């Protein structure tokens, strides 16, 4: 029940109480008095009929069942964010006081760097110098050997394949050296030519080698490759690999 219903029931109860009090007072007023009737007149006192007053009993109304209000569908307005166009700032042209100095036509200096027209130095294939020799020699692997000393290596064509019948001259200061001719097959995994420097022991020294046109020639067709060997059996190298490749 709502508070309104309780207020109505309370008002009805108060009204009922007031009616009851009023009727009780009325009965009190009209009730027979205890004074004795005068003796001379022997009139039988007939009691006044007491009117029965019907007081309706207050029957409270049964509480009306509270019917929960049906949920009313409320159309919730979803505020969709609108792309509020931001006010475009208007360019305010602030009047500039005329300068007393006459404007000069300042020449626009062109940028020092023109990214699109900057010449790319392709370095004419990096300006690789033409080899001074027909062959290029380089040091390969080194080996330790306690019983001999020597040089070995490969002679290769420009594609990296074995090149046979190539003469390699090797020597040292004070010794004209010897000439070795390369083969077309590498019977050993690390050479197709070799030159023995000492066949009995490790020998220390600085040795030179290059490709020449023929046996007995001193005209190098390649750069001179210098290598060092050790005479200490516990140290290396005693054998040095020198490879020559045709340019």
Can you give the pLDDT of all 247 residues of the chain as single tens digits?
A: 677 777 878 888 888 888 888 888 887 777 655 544 455 445 444 455 444 455 555 555 655 656 666 655 555 555 555 565 555 555 555 555 555 545 556 555 555 555 556 656 666 666 666 778 999 999 999 999 999 999 999 999 999 999 999 999 999 999 999 999 999 998 788 999 999 999 999 999 999 999 999 999 999 999 999 999 999 999 989 999 999 999 9
Task: Return d(Cα 25, Cα 7) in angstroms, integer.
Answer: 27
Contacts of 216 (CB under 8 A, 6+ apart): 179
Phi first, then psi, for residue 28 (nearest 5°) are -65, -35
Tokens of 175: 């010794």
Predicted local distance difference test score (pLDDT) of residue 126: 64
Helix (H, G, I), strand (E, B) or coil at 104: coil
Task: Return d(Cα 82, Cα 51) in angstroms, integer.
Answer: 83
- In the DSSP assignment, the letter for residue 222 is B
Cα distances from 71 to residues 74, 163, 165, in angstroms, run 9, 101, 108
Task: Return d(Cα 235, Cα 138) in angstroms, integer.
Answer: 22
Predicted local distance difference test score (pLDDT) of residue 247: 97
Which residue stretches of the chain are H helix? 3-30, 123-126
Predicted local distance difference test score (pLDDT) of residue 46: 47
Task: Return d(Cα 127, Cα 129) in angstroms, integer.
Answer: 6
Query: Strand pairing of 239-246 and 155-156?
Result: parallel
Contacts of 158 (CB under 8 A, 6+ apart): 245, 246, 247
Q: Cα Rg for the chain, rounded, in angstroms?
A: 67
Contacts of 186 (CB under 8 A, 6+ apart): 154, 162, 192
Task: Return d(Cα 211, Cα 136) in angstroms, integer.
Answer: 9
Predicted local distance difference test score (pLDDT) of residue 39: 54
Instruction: Report which of 184, 148, 152 is spatially closest to residue 168, judged by C-alpha positions.
Output: 152
Tokens of 170: 């090797």
Instruction: Report which of 226, 210, 225 is spatially closest to residue 167, judged by C-alpha positions.
Output: 210
Where residue 21 falls (left for φ over 0; alpha for ψ -120 to 50; beta otherwise) is alpha
Predicted local distance difference test score (pLDDT) of residue 172: 97
Domain boundaries, the chain: 1-31+49-65, 135-246
**3.40.50.720, 3.40.50.300, 3.30.2270.10, 2.60.40.10: CATH of 135-246:** 2.60.40.10
Query: Would you say 19 and 12 are in contact if contact means Cβ atoms under 8 Å apart?
Result: no
Tokens of 52: 């029965």
């Amino acid at each position: 029940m709502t508070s309104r219903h309780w207020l109505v029931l309370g008002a009805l109860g108060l009204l009922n109480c007031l009616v009851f009090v009023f009727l009780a007072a009325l009965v009190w007023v009209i009730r027979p008095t205890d004074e004795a009737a005068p003796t001379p007149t022997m009139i039988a006192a007939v009691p006044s009929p007491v009117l029965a007053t019907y007081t309706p009993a207050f029957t409270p109304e049964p509480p009306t069942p509270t019917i929960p209000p049906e949920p009313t569908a409320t159309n919730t307005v979803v505020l969709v964010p609108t792309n509020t166009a931001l006010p475009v700032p208007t360019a305010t042209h602030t009047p500039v006081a005329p300068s007393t100095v006459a404007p000069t036509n300042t020449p626009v200096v062109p940028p020092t760097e023109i990214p699109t027209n900057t010449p790319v130095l392709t370095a004419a294939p990096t300006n690789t110098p033409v080899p001074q020799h027909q062959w290029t020699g380089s040091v390969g692997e080194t080996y330790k050997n306690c019983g001999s000393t020597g040089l070995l290596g490969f002679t290769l064509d420009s594609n990296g394949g074995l090149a046979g019948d190539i003469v390699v001259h090797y020597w040292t200061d004070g010794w004209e050296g010897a000439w070795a001719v390369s083969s077309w097959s590498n019977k050993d995994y690390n050479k197709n030519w070799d030159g023995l420097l000492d066949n009995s022991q490790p020998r220390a020294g600085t040795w030179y080698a290059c490709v020449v046109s023929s046996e007995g020639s001193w005209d190098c067709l390649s750069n001179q490759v210098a290598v060092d060997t050790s005479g200490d059996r516990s140290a290396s190298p005693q054998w040095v690999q020198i490879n020559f490749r045709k340019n």
